[in-house]
Amino acid sequence: MSTAPHTDPRDAIRPALADELSGLPWDLRQRVALACRILAAERHCFALAGQVTVRAEANSFWTVPWSPAFDAIGVRDVIRIDDDLNPLEGSAQPNPAVRFHYWIYRARPEVECIVHTHPPAIAALSMLGRPLVVSHMDTMPLYDDVAFLRDWPGVPVADQEGEIISAALGGKKAILLAHHGLIATGRSVQEATVLALMMEHAADLQLRAEATGGAIAATPDALAREAREFLLQPSIVDATFRAFADRVLRSDPATIG
């Protein structure tokens, strides 16, 4: 019997992943535009609802205006605003609901990007008043990292709603907002976008599983946390974002032009 110490094969995989998958060719404005198109392609776009913001220099933020909707956004539409919603680059007016993002940025200095959308499965779950259940391998980056705001504070265009939402989010990466939608935060545009996509996927799986009448089985805590750490590696997150972005660019290369 071998007495060699046990090694985790993931330890050997990590450096190879980082080397093979590292690096994205797009700047921040292009990534914002791609995030909007990706979210729209995955049914996160309903009319003009939803926002994407990312930190820029000197207490400013990249975002997109009220219009066009996510499915028509290009890099030309991305604007830079200050923390009073005043345009600094570009003349279009941002969505006023961006104001609640500022409360999260102030409380969470590690957050670089915020995605807020109202996709169908998340919206349906929010109407039922039930928190998101993370119980499938594909959604493990969200394990034990999704808060739940049970009471709807109304349309989030004022500081009061921002204060409530930020407090409910706490130190979590994401939150399900009752009667509303989702918020996903990230260390990059890529991470926030991928987590938003995973939230909708988790909600869809939850609704399908609950529709069978059975109970959703919990995952072993230690394995779930291990999976979360592994799947949240920047190289894997970036590669996931790139896979979705490549689909967008095959359809409309002008998105980043």
Q: For the segment 10-29, what is each residue's pLDDT rounded down to a tens digit?
A: 554 545 444 444 579 999 99
* Angstrom distance (rounded) from CA 230 to CA 214: 29
Partners of residue 81 on adjacent β-strands: 61, 87
* Angstrom distance (rounded) from CA 207 to CA 119: 13
Q: Which CATH number applies to 26-246?
A: 3.40.225.10
Report whether 39 contacts 182 (CB < 8 A): no
Give the amino acid at 89: E
Query: Would you call the peptide bond into 96 cis, given omega within 30 degrees of 0 as the criterion?
Result: no
Task: Say which DSSP state 215 is in.
Answer: P
Predicted confidence (pLDDT) per residue in 190-210, tens digit: 999 999 999 999 999 999 999
Predicted confidence (pLDDT) per residue in 34-72, tens digit: 999 999 999 998 777 789 999 999 889 999 998 889 999
Domain segments of the chain as ranges: 26-246
pLDDT for residue 17: 46
